[in-house]
Amino acid sequence: MLQEEPAAKMPDLILLDLNMPKMNGFELLSLIRENDHWKDIKVFIQTTSDQSEDKTLAQTLGISGFITKPLKLDSLSSMDAFNLMMDLMNM
């Protein structure tokens, strides 16, 4: 989809799952960050993985946020929920 869209219609935000067919989310994120036209798109990982290795690799690849599914706002601290909402609003 990114390859087909003209530069003027690039998305402001991508919600990216780590488990996808053909290529995983880290592979796609790497391609996004390596491409001059796509590298500034905000990417949020949305996944069931809560492994620290996945979070570390995602941060290394330049994600905007890491959202663990299912999202339970009542289990987030008020500061975490605030930061998540601010990240999503400040795109």
Q: Peptide bond preceding 21: is omega within 30 degrees of 0, i.e. cis?
A: no
Confidence at residue 51, expressed as pLDDT on a 0 to 100 scale: 83
Burial of 58 (0-12, 13-18, 19+ CB in 10 A): buried
Partners of residue 44 on adjacent β-strands = 15, 65
pTM above 0.75, yes or no: no
Q: 12 pLDDT exceeds 70?
A: yes
For each of the domains in the chain, give its residue range(s) and CATH number, in order of start: 7-89 (3.40.50.2300)
pLDDT tens-digit map of 37-65: 888 899 988 888 878 898 889 899 999 88
Confidence at residue 75, expressed as pLDDT on a 0 to 100 scale: 57
Q: 3 pLDDT exceeds 60?
A: yes
CA distance 65 to 10: 19
Confidence at residue 80, expressed as pLDDT on a 0 to 100 scale: 63
